[in-house]
Amino acid sequence: MSTVQFEGRSIPVAAGATVLEALLAGGIEATHSCKAGACGSCMMRATEGAIPARAQSGLKDSWKAQGYFLPCVCVPESDLSIAAVGSDAQRAASIAGLERLSADVIRVRILCEEPMLFHRVSS
């Protein structure tokens, strides 16, 4: 069993469990969606410890070098210290434009008060 250090808490990770599963079981409200490594909404950064290659699959090399990983597919092999990437999931924004592209598709342009980190994760 390994342990994850997150926001001053020590959270045990059961054998075969992912970091995301451990965080959720530990009462941490970690952002997530697909739980399969496809959407990237759960991305975090390891500040200490070894990240399994599968947990960085599809990420840019520069992000891998900075310790970014997908906790939903990360089954740690040793202890990790991790940090949230940011709060890009919730930002103050306003609708800057609406454009009807077809009968059932509308393009929405959103103006955020702060820049957002966008990343693309391929499975």
Q: Work out the average pLDDT over 46-62.
A: 94
pLDDT, tens digit (0-9, with 9 covering 90-100), for 56-108 = 999 999 899 999 999 999 999 999 999 988 644 456 788 999 999 999 999 99
Q: What is the mean predicted confidence (pLDDT) over 33-44?
A: 91
For the entire predicted model, the pTM comes to 0.70
Q: Write down the domain spans for the chain.
A: 2-84, 89-117
Quick one: tokens of 99?
A: 């454009």
Record: fold of 2-84: Ubiquitin-like (UB roll) (3.10.20)
What pLDDT, on a 0 to 100 scale, did the predictor assign at position 91?
A: 65
Q: Which of 48, 16, 50, 44 is nearest to 32 (CA)?
A: 44
